[in-house]
Amino acid sequence: MQLVIVESPTKAKTISKFLGKGYKIESSYGHIRDLPKSTLGIEVEKNFEPKYIVPVKSKKVVKQLKADAQKSDSVILATDEDREGEAIAWHLKELLGLDKAKRIVFHEITQSAIENALKNPRTIDEHLVDAQQARRILDRLVGYKLSPFLWKKIVRGLSAGRVQSVALRLIVEREQEIRNFKPEEYWTITAVLNKSGMSFEANLVSIDGKTLDKFEIKTEDDAKKITKELEKEKFQIASIEKKIVQRNPLAPFITSTLQQEAAKRLGFSAKKTMFLSQRLYENGHITYMRTDSVNLSKESVAAAQDWLTKELGSDYALSAPRVFKGKSKLAQEAHEAIRPTNVFTAPEGIKVEEEAERKLYKLIWQRFVASQMPPAKISTTALEVEAGKYGLRASGQEIVFDGYLKIWPQKFSTKELPSVEKGDVPEVEVIRPDQHFTEPPPRFSEASLIKILEEYGIGRPSTYAPIISVIQSRNYVIKEGGKFVPTPMGELVNKVLTEHFPTIVDVEFTAKMEEELDEVAAGKEKWQKVIGDFYVPFSKNLEEKYGEVSKKELLPEETTDEKCEKCGKPMVIKYGRFGKFMACSGFPECKTTKQLPKEPPKSIGLKCEKCGEGEIVERRVTRGRAKGKIFWGCGRYPKCDYASWTDPRNPAPEASKEKDSQPSE
């Protein structure tokens, strides 16, 4: 009897379908050893040696696995192929005394993949284990050393994380950009022309042969002056340029792009996407979901071409596979992108526990199939129009061959232009000056935060979801309308970290640490040296800051005019883990506390256009899919129910196309 140990009971159940009676498949239920929760668990003076323990929840599992191992002829460790999986295999080997255990890895849970892995066992990759240990120890040192500092200097219950603190900084700095943003006015001029009964728009792009900058027309007076001059001119087609452009499909999913696209198209959080993809993987539907490689196996692309030829015809199949090049300098963890294990298994045909799984599988299936399809061909037309010294441009486009868009729909607006010839003089219907205002940078969504973390090289495929989850659970950020907004506590923690521990929240330094961990995984660097180079200056700085930083400086006490209802002493404003609150200045003798009163809605200084009595105020949606989104409504609500998604002070931009018919409080 051969014992096969995996980390998940679902994975064990799926593998058992492919192995005969000579195998027994058991699960470790994740890690069987970990650092202790109550203490640091690292011998700093002994070259950062970790002190692992068996958690209470794992003791029964360990006892059973030991008994099973002793009864078996051989043991096969079949945990996931990334660093985490390699570390689980190593802990099993060490704790169960499995010196002769075989290590197998596979990228998908299918019959052929399992059989191939059994034919090609290997030893545990100590370098991958070292890289996982190094990350775990680094994060433990930062969390367990820096968090008590925050407790002492701000408030108990706070915590700091190595990578999460950088994500928090990005969100806080974006919020500061938005607050400091000052909108600038600019104008565009559009001529609505007509030829052969068909109207089309041409935008002003040049004056006296000089191309206009987007913000060049700054005032209404300038725009009106140009408009008046244009109204006197004859408009003539100066040139016509037609061409076919190709739009190529995107690469198959890696972890980060799957999380981004699932957020955009399905509204899934990164955490939900990883949970569902894990289930799809363990049930044998998709390949391993923690990867930063865009490679595809020869067999998978051949199967894709076969499916395309049979289902859509040869026009939609490539003559040779399309190969993608990844951005990562060292694509760790995996050898393939995320794809369906069998392209002939349509989304409608898989068995799932919830429909969200099917939606995610469909997304993965579509992206993979589309990646092996021909480009879309788009016919574009550019008309250059002359009107005296002014130059205008009209553009049109339409799809002539949909290619990969047949499987992977993307936003595309067909724009038709009339048939014209050089020298034609179209009729002028109207010349329209339009006012615009520059807009602040948008707040981060889950998708855009993951994208920028990936661009900066912060974190790795398996870390994005935990990063986002942690900064929310710590109440450092909240979601408003699907976008991250820092809480007052989040801003305070970020201020302390950036001012006193700049290295911890430095983007370049954190990215460099990730590269060093990759070097450890490749066997080019020793993990103890990487940790030592970080910890020695960090520890020295921390010790100095305990003496330098005063709690009163960080949290100056705010007085109020309100008296304590129990003892009569003045109430003061203090910070708690979840933000500001009012407390009696007689603490600890008097422990009276209360919430701060809610701020009234902010008036924008305009009268309600519906009732003419109330003032327009800025509000936020409190329920539904648009929760947290800003809208503008009458201050006399509910007596007047006027509400609008569009800021009345800036009527030029189009109203947001929300599914809700009207904003609601």
Q: How confident is the model at residue 264 (pLDDT cuts 50, 70, 90)?
A: very high
Outline where 320-430 has alpha helix (H): 355-371
- Give residue 330's pLDDT: 47
Task: Check pLDDT > 80 for residue 548.
Answer: yes
Q: Are 33 and 95 in contact (CB under 8 A)?
A: yes
- Start-to-end CA distance of the chain, whole Å, equals 64
User: Which is it for strands 477-480 and 427-437: parallel, antiparallel or unpaired?
Assistant: unpaired
pLDDT in tens, 514-545: 999 999 999 999 999 999 999 999 999 999 99
User: What does the alpha-carbon distance between residue 5 and residue 92 come to, in Å, rounded to a whole number?
Assistant: 9
- The region of weakest confidence among 182-191, 208-217, 538-547, 550-559 is 550-559
Tell me the residue length of the chain: 665
* Element holding 242 (H helix, E strand): strand 236-247
Task: Note whether 571 and 470 are same-domain residues.
Answer: no
pLDDT, mean over the chain: 91
In CATH, what number is assigned to the domain containing residue 456? 1.10.460.10
Q: Is the pLDDT of residue 657 over 50?
A: no
* Boundaries of domain holding 564: 557-594
Model confidence at 124, pLDDT cuts 50, 70, 90, reads very high
Give yes or no: residues 174 and 193 share one domain: no
145 close to 539: Cβ distance less than 8 angstroms: yes
Q: Is the pLDDT of residue 641 over 50?
A: yes
Residue 262 pLDDT: 97
CA distances 209 to 206, 386, 425, Å, are: 6, 10, 20
Average pLDDT over residues 290-314: 95
Higher pLDDT, 660 or 323: 323
162, 140 Cβ separation under 8 angstroms: no
pLDDT in tens, 318-377: 999 999 987 654 444 447 999 999 999 999 999 999 999 999 999 999 999 999 999 999
* Same domain, yes or no: 243 and 381: yes
pLDDT in tens, 178-196: 999 998 999 999 999 999 9
Together in a domain, 26 and 88: yes
* DSSP result, 429-486: EEEEEEEEE--PPPPP-HHHHHHHHHHHT-S-TTTHHHHHHHHHHTTSEEEETTEEEE
Element (H, E) at 559: strand 558-563
> So what's the pLDDT on residue 580?
81
Task: Please tell me whether residue 381 adopts helix, strand or coil conformation.
Answer: strand
pLDDT of residue 213: 94
When pLDDT is cut at 50, 70 and 90, the band that residue 626 belongs to is low
Predicted confidence at residue 332, as pLDDT, reads 43
Q: Give yes or no for residue 502 having a pLDDT over 80.
A: yes
382 has a pLDDT exceeding 90:
yes
Residues 313 and 461 both lie in one domain:
no
Peptide bond into 588 cis (omega under 30): yes
Q: Give me the phi and psi of 47, to 5 degrees please.
A: 60, 35
The answer to whether residues 611 and 640 touch, using CB atoms and an 8 Å cutoff, is yes
The pLDDT score that the predictor gives to residue 283 is 95
SS3 category, 273: helix
Which of 420, 437, 454 is the last residue before a domain boundary? 437
If you average pLDDT over residues 629-644, what whole number do you get? 88
Residue 119 and residue 6 share a domain = yes
Tell me, yes or no, whether 25 and 109 share the same domain: yes
Which residues, 6+ apart, have CB-to-CB distance to 321 below 8 Å?
296, 298, 301, 302, 305, 372
CA of residue 660 relative to chain centroid, distance: 25
Q: Is 90 exceeded by the pLDDT of residue 175? A: yes
Catalytic residue among 23, 186, 281, 288: 288
- Taking 90 as the threshold, does the pLDDT of residue 13 lie above it? yes
Place of tokens 């016919």: 379
Per-residue pLDDT at 98: 93
Where does residue 414 fall: left (phi above 0), alpha (psi -120 to 50 degrees), or beta otherwise?
A: beta
Cβ atoms within 10 Å of 652's Cβ, excluding its own: 13
Vertex 187 angle, CA 634 and 181, to 5°: 60
Write the Ramachandran bin of 399: left for phi over 0, alpha for psi from -120 to 50, otherwise beta: beta
Cβ atoms 496, 541 nearer than 8 A: no
3-state class (DSSP) for residue 392: strand
The average pLDDT across 650-665 equals 43
Give the pLDDT band of residue 274 (cuts 50, 70, 90): very high
Closest CA to 480 of 665, 623, 628, 625: 628
Q: Is the per-residue pLDDT at 422 higher than 50?
A: yes
Regarding whether 338 and 282 lie in a shared domain, the answer is: yes
Q: How many domains does the chain have?
A: 6
Q: Where a domain ends, among 594, 620, 650?
A: 594
Residue 456: which of 405, 410, 508 has the closest Cα? 508
The Cα 442–Cα 178 span in angstroms is 8
Q: Give residue 658's pLDDT.
A: 38
Rounded-to-integer distance, Cα 367 and Cα 300, Å: 13
Burial 126-142 (b: 16+ CB within 10 A, else e): ebbbbbbbbbbbbbbbb
Q: How confident is the model at residue 624 (pLDDT cuts 50, 70, 90)?
A: low
Are residues 485 and 472 located together in one domain of the fold?
yes
Distance of CA 495 to the CA centre of its chain: 23
119 and 9 in a common domain: yes
Residue reference for tokens 């295999």 = 89
| 535 among known catalytic residues | no
Which amino acid, one-letter code, is at 485? Answer: V
Of 332, 355, 371, the residue at which a domain comes to its end is 371
Q: How many beta carbons lie within 10 A of that of residue 527, not counting itself?
A: 24
Contact 381, 396 (CB under 8 A): yes
Strands 74-77 and 102-103 come out as parallel
Q: Which residues contact 328 (CB under 8 A, 6 or more apart)?
A: 292, 293
pLDDT of residue 413: 87
Q: Which of 93-97, 389-393, 656-660 has the lowest mean pLDDT?
A: 656-660
Domain identity same for 351 and 489 = no
pLDDT value for 652: 45
pLDDT beyond 70 at 663? no
DSSP letter assigned to residue 567:
T
Contact status, residue 106 vs residue 116, Cβ threshold 8 Å: yes
Q: What is the C-alpha separation between 575 and 582, in angstroms, rounded?
A: 9
pLDDT exceeds 50 at position 35: yes
Q: Of 473, 445, 483, 444, which is closest to residue 630 (Cα–Cα)?
A: 483
Judge if 59 and 148 occupy the same domain. Answer: no
